[in-house]
Amino acid sequence: MSNGVTIPRSASGYDLRPLRGEARERAAAKLSPEERRVLLEHGTERAFCGTLLNNKHAGVYACRLCGLPLFRSDVKFESGTGWPSFNAPFDPAHVLNIEDNSYGMKRVEIRCARCDGHLGHVFPDGPPPTHLRYCLNSAAMDFFEDGRLPEQKTAD
């Protein structure tokens, strides 16, 4: 509780209050031009160029803008598409699904539930048990090896 207001939290305990205004701008000031293009302008990095594509370490992938954990390394798989791919989010409440009809295609965009940063897209052609393929931009995420936690940039 903050100032008598209940803070919305995910099942995994993370603060899900929207990161907006000055707090979001402070976090965005630390982004590179490519990270801004992807996260804030809904861009996509080129296939097979992302820094996290071949990462095989155990840990957590978090939103580069606000630090919200997005995916665990144990659900990452090689999709052959050129982007880091996962079959389930860290916590379903951490990822928003948004209908995306751009470029003459019908897709589902995924965004960070806290800061609304563009992460990538989700497709129904992944491996069991979910049969989902969350296709992510490396520029949208930071990786934290087991034992390290991402700094949380929240609405406070």
Helix (H, G, I), strand (E, B) or coil at 9: strand
Strand spans (E) along the chain: 59-63, 69-72, 76-77, 85-86, 95-100, 107-112, 118-123, 133-136, 141-145
Catalytic residue among 63, 112, 115, 135: 135
Is beta strand 59-63 parallel, antiparallel or unpaired with respect to 118-123?
A: unpaired
Q: Is 112 a catalytic residue?
A: no
> Could you give the angle at the alpha carbon of 93 between the alpha carbons of 136 and 67, nearest 5°?
60
Is beta strand 76-77 parallel, antiparallel or unpaired with respect to 118-123?
A: unpaired
Active-site annotation, residues: 135
